[in-house]
Structure 1
């Protein structure tokens, strides 16, 4: 039962206890799931990202922040931010995803999880202040349906590729990171969490990742759960387009998580009106490699104690990466 007072016409805890959430399995993968994603990854790695860095925009918390642009699959030029240490060379590297609200500035990611780090903060196609593009809806409930008629055209697949291309751009801009072989860290929340789960299995440039309230987990179950986020748009769309159930299995973050071998810290929530907790926990449960669990009382919901939980998660994230990303 919900432990928070709310005005939603459904229970954002979905009647499940922690033990029940921890018992949820991942859906079975389509027979060509691995081949589908491996081909997409190889195509993204062939892209000449030609990153370009703009003037420094600010300096704070031990980091310098610049505008950056790079090319992703389909020849689409995307934008975001490049973060570098204020002093000295970078000792760690990160790709930092964003939620479905888009990214309007670097405030959601700076300071980075570790000092003396470099990072790229991409805005995936159609979203955020620097990657709005004609023909791609910028509103979450429309963006999540863009191209959903086919696994080959679904925008979520291209957004995953945007993260791979962002990693390529970062390694080109900070060549010491590539030369070290130490591997990158990935950080993503909500949309960024789900995209990260889909991206990590195929890209051995990532050494570890941290996913907060990840979306796209267990689509068959998500389609039965009401909500107020992008998942509700997909659930509504499916009523008139049942054939979408043939597309969604290729974009299931829990299914993908069963292929992740690197260490991952997941922070799912027990109560979340936007991303149903069962899907979040399905991602954690499916992880095939070393995993850590950091349970939040609520996600996408302001509540007393929320600031303290955010501080505790930031501390856990810092420890997690400090233990797994060696200095270069």
Structure 2
């Protein structure tokens, strides 16, 4: 007999929530200076001379055929962030995308995830992945998620969010046609960081967030998990004052400021990112949104049919979702 999820993970990875209760999870109230803090961080990032540079080129074949270049650019703090630039093989750019990754980092881009005609930058956010390892920044998720957490000014998630804004600047400098419709796609860690980045940057027209992390920190701190949140939960148990820092990096709180069309794919069961936090991001959105509920997240083997359906839905959304109305 196969073990139950509780036996496998040592806890219930649904945390006792069904779909109705998940759709009722709220976002925490924002600190009084939440908007000012993030607008200041955004202005700082936009002032950076990103100086993007491309390197080795390869060409992929088949679905999503693309030219692939190594790319690097400068982000806040003078860090060079590495990743990849992908361009449609036929040279016709109809839109752009910044694509981020989970806490496992990224080893290579996957252009087939995006709509045809997309020029994309695939950054490895600071300290992570194959191309953004830096001395002084841990690459292990359990340590990375705690780096600088003692202060809102030093917490690494602020730098990672700046890496997204600077990635957008780099993409638009390298491929001006991407400005026709700039989109965002992020999974897990990247979904949460995207929620933090999107409210302040009006260059983005639409977004897709899959099993987004960092939603409703006060609730997350009470829920065991197998992901980076467990490090934060344990740290908070010894340092409860960190809750005041986390309040500035809550993806659900930030989502209350997102007005661009956003596709969210949260999971009903997820041992790594507690589902209530994922749904809190979706529930908080104030603009047009589309929900695609997944059976499970961060569980292997995944359902290939569900993955394919999600990929198709997100590609369609990133093309057809209406851009934000002026004003």
Please indicate the TM-score interval, normalised by the length of the shorter structure. over 0.9
- 1:247 aligned counterpart, secondary structure: helix
- Residues 33-112 of structure 1 correspond to what in structure 2 (within 5 A)? 33-60=34-61, 61-106=64-109, 109-112=110-113
Match of 1:272 in 2: 270
Once residues 4 and 203 of structure 2 are traced to their aligned partners in structure 1, the CA distance between those partners, rounded to angstroms, is 41
Superposition CA RMSD, Å: 1.5
Q: What does residue 309 of structure 2 align with? A: 312
1:322 corresponding residue in structure 2: 319
Could you tell me how far apart the structure 1 residues matched to 2:178 and 2:87 are?
12
Q: Provide TM-score, normalisation by structure 1.
A: 0.95
Alpha-carbon offset, residue 58 of structure 1:
3.3
CA deviations 1:65-118 (Å, max 9, x no partner) are 110000000010110000001112311100001000001111xx3214211110
| CA positional deviation for 1:176 | 2.3
Tell me how far apart the structure 2 counterparts of residues 27 and 3 of structure 1 sit (CA, whole Å): 32
CA distance, structure 2, for counterparts of residue 193 and residue 201 of structure 1: 13
| 3-state SS, counterpart of residue 187 of structure 1 | strand
Q: Using the alignment, how far apart are the partners of 2:126 and 2:91 within structure 1?
A: 32
1:125–1:162 CA contact under 8 A, matched in 2: yes
Contact 2:188/2:210 (CA < 8 Å) preserved in 1? Answer: yes
Three-state SS of the structure 2 residue aligned to 1:151 is coil
> Unaligned stretches of 5+ in structure 1?
none
The answer (yes or no) to whether the contact 1:216–1:252 under 8 Å persists in 2 is yes
TM-score, normalization by structure 2: 0.95
- For 2:128, what is the secondary structure of its paired residue? coil
Residue 168 of structure 2 corresponds to 167
Partner residue of 1:302?
Answer: 300
Note if contact 1:268-1:294 (Cα within 8 Å) is conserved in structure 2: yes
Q: Partner of 2:114 in structure 1?
A: 113
